[in-house]
Chains A and B, each alone.
Chain A
Amino acid sequence: MTKIDPPMALLAELTHRCPLRCPYCSNPLDLERAANEMRTEEWLRALGEAAAIGCMQVHFSGGEPTVRRDLEDLVAGATKAGLYTNLITSGVLLDAARLKALAEAGLEHVQLSFQDSEREIGNRIGGYAGGHEKKIAVAALVRETGLPLTANFVVHRQNLHHLEAMLEMAVRIGAHRVEIANVQYYGWALKNRAALMPSREQLEQMTAIVTGARERLKGVLTIDYVVPDYYARRPKSCMGGWGRRFLNISPSGKVLPCHAAESITSLTFDNVRQRGLADIWRDSEAFNRFRGTEWMPEPCKSCDRREIDWGGCRCQAFAITGDAARTDPACGLSNDHERLVSIAAGEADAEMDGFVYRQFGNAQKLLPQSARPHSE
Chain B
Amino acid sequence: MSERSIIGKQSVPRLAPHMRLRFDDARESWTIQAPERSFLLDQVAHAIVSRCDGAASVGAIVDSLCVMVPDAPRDMIERDVTALIQNFIDKSVMVQ
Q: Are B1 and A148 in contact (CB under 8 A)?
A: no
The answer to whether A86 touches B38, judged by C-beta atoms less than 8 angstroms apart, is: no
Question: Does B24 sit at the interface, judged by CB under 8 A?
Answer: yes
CA distance A177 to B36 in the complex (A): 10
Instruction: From B26-34, B44-52, B63-71, B73-81, give the one contacting chain A.
Output: B26-34
Q: A54-B24, A57-B33 are in contact. Are A222 and B91 (CB under 8 A)?
A: yes
Residue-wise interface mask of B (10-39) relative to A, using a CB-CB cutoff of 8 A (1 in contact, 0 not): 000000111010101011000101011010
Q: How far is the CB of A340 from chain B (nearest CB, A)?
A: 28
Distance (Å) between the CB of A266 and the closest chain B CB? 31
List 15 additional contacts besides A56-B24, A84-B33, A148-B18; criterion CB under 8 Å. A6-B26, A8-B38, A54-B26, A56-B31, A56-B38, A108-B33, A111-B36, A148-B17, A150-B35, A176-B16, A176-B92, A177-B36, A177-B92, A219-B90, A220-B2
Say whether A54 contacts B4, CB under 8 Å: no
Q: Which chain A residues lie closer than 8 Å to B22 at the CB level? A: 56, 82, 84
Pair count A-B, CB < 8 A: 67
Residues of A within 8 A of B35 (CB): 86, 108-109, 111, 148, 150, 176-177
In the complex, the chain B residue whose C-beta lies closest to that of A217 is: B4
Contact residues on A (Cβ < 8 Å of other chain), bracket? 20 to 34
Answer yes or no: B3 CB below 8 A from chain A CBs: yes
* Residues of B that sit less than 8 Å from A by CB: 1-5, 16-18, 20, 22, 24, 26-27, 31, 33, 35-36, 38, 89-92
Q: A8: which B residues are within 8 A, CB to CB?
A: 38
In the bound complex, CA of A339 to CA of B5 (Å): 47
Given known contacts A56-B31, A84-B33, A177-B35, A219 and B89 CB-to-CB distance under 8 angstroms: yes
Which residues on the A side are within 8 Å of B27 (C-beta)? 6, 54
CB distance from A55 to the nearest CB of B (A): 9
CA distance A218 to B89 in the complex (A): 9
A3 to chain B, nearest CB (A): 14
Say yes or no: is A53 at the interface (Cβ < 8 Å to chain B): yes
A111 to chain B: which residues have CB within 8 Å? 35-36
Report whether B20 and A84 are in contact in the complex, using a CB–CB cutoff of 8 Å.
yes
Chain A nearest CB, measured from B34 CB (Å): 8
Which of B2, B27, B35 has the most chain A CB atoms inside 10 A of its CB? B35
Bound together, the chains give a CA A109 to CA B94 distance in angstroms of 16
Complex Cα distance, B19 from A109, in Å, reads 10
Supply 9 A–B pairs (Cβ within 8 Å), ascending by A: A54-B27, A84-B33, A108-B20, A109-B35, A146-B17, A176-B35, A177-B36, A220-B2, A220-B4
Which residues from B are CB-within-8-Å of A53? 26
Q: Would you call A168 an interface residue if the criterion is a C-beta within 8 Å of the partner chain's C-beta atoms?
A: no
Chain A residue with Cβ nearest B26: A54
The answer to the question of A164 belonging to the interface, with a C-beta cut-off of 8 Å to chain B, is no
Give CA–CA (A177, B38) in the complex, Å.
Answer: 15
Assembly CA distance A177 to B1 (angstroms): 12
Cβ-defined contact, B90 with A218, below 8 A: yes
The docked-state distance in angstroms from the alpha carbon of A209 to that of B30 is 36
- Chain B nearest CB: distance from A211 CB in Å? 15
Which residues from A are CB-within-8-Å of B4? 218-220
A279 an interface residue at 8 Å Cβ cutoff? no
Instruction: For the complex formed, measure the closest distance between the CB of B57 and the CB atoms of chain A, giving whole angstroms.
Output: 19
CA distance A56 to B33 in the complex (A): 8
4 A-B pairs with the lowest CB-CB distances in the bound complex, closest first: A54-B26, A84-B33, A109-B35, A219-B4
- In the bound complex, CA of A220 to CA of B16 (Å): 12
Q: A83 — nearest CB in chain B belongs to which residue? A: B33
A224 at interface, CB cutoff 8 A: yes
Contact yes or no, B3 A220, CB < 8 A: yes
Q: How far is it, in angstroms, between the C-alpha of A56 and the C-alpha of B27 when the chains are bound? A: 10
Instruction: Please report the C-alpha to C-alpha distance between residue A6 and residue B38 in the assembled complex, in whole angstroms.
Output: 13
Expressed in whole angstroms, the minimum distance between the Cβ of A80 and any Cβ of chain B is 14
Q: Which of B20, B31, B36 contacts A224 (CB 8 A)?
A: B36
A147 proximal to B (CB < 8 A)? yes
A84 CA to B20 CA, complexed, in Å: 8
Cα A124 to Cα B56 in complex, Å, equals 51
